[in-house]
Chains A and B, each alone.
Chain A
């Protein structure tokens, strides 16, 4: 299957600072990537769809000014959590679909980034 990486795998930051998370498709080009958030023992929550070369599409209730998404190339999408607060502490996971092989819409997930805001 397609390989998706994320960096960093974990990060601790102070309240009020910003954190950038990178998501890369390693062996395919992804015109679209997805960002999820998952709190402990909760289900995946889709935050936004990242589109290469255009603005991201945010799900209802997700603050676009707080969670900045940039998809500047076919293999890289970034999520920046601005002015982070403790309630933003969560597991952030990106996923991508390989348009060449995923004819049936499988998504492949990155390993996730655990964010802790102190």
Chain B
């Protein structure tokens, strides 16, 4: 079982809709969760981090964490074509090094 799993997609949504990206992880001891956005040919950019159960909102982005169910999601409201990218979920486990584990990413396409 992979440590951090994401549906590779592509997830296609119309402009203005809500895009929902999901990520599951295997280690119950995980403590820090991150969402990165990666445009084609570019390096990842940190867009959200979340550490406690519940929702965390930042502009059009909302991260949701449910440690009991071991999933973290990212909602993008009012999706724009410029949101089209690959979204990487990263999870940091308790203890050990501070290197997070990355999922393979979900490709999001927002069409006009």
Contact = CB atoms under 8 A, between A and B. Distances in A.
A107 B42 contact: no
Given A43-B103, A49-B97, A106 B44 contact: no
A31 B4 CA distance: 27
Interface in B69-85: none
Contacts of A1: 46
Interface residues of A, number: 20
Contacts of A44: 44, 88, 102
A106 B105 contact: no
B102 A109 contact: no
A105 B32 contact: yes
Given A43-B105, A104-B49, A111 B43 contact: yes
Contact of A112 (B43, B92, B103): B43
B100 A107 contact: yes
Contacts, number: 46
Given A104-B32, A104-B49, A104-B51, A46 B43 contact: no
Nearest to B97: A49
Contacts of B100: 105, 107
Contacts of B88: 43-44
A30 interface: no
Nearest to A1: B46
Interface in A52-87: none
30 contacts: A34-B99, A42-B104, A43-B88, A43-B103, A43-B104, A43-B105, A44-B44, A44-B88, A44-B102, A49-B97, A93-B43, A93-B44, A104-B32, A104-B49, A104-B51, A105-B32, A105-B98, A106-B34, A106-B46, A107-B34, A107-B100, A108-B46, A109-B43, A109-B44, A109-B46, A110-B43, A111-B42, A111-B43, A112-B42, A112-B43
Interface of B: 32, 34, 36, 41-46, 49, 51, 88, 90, 92, 97-100, 102-105
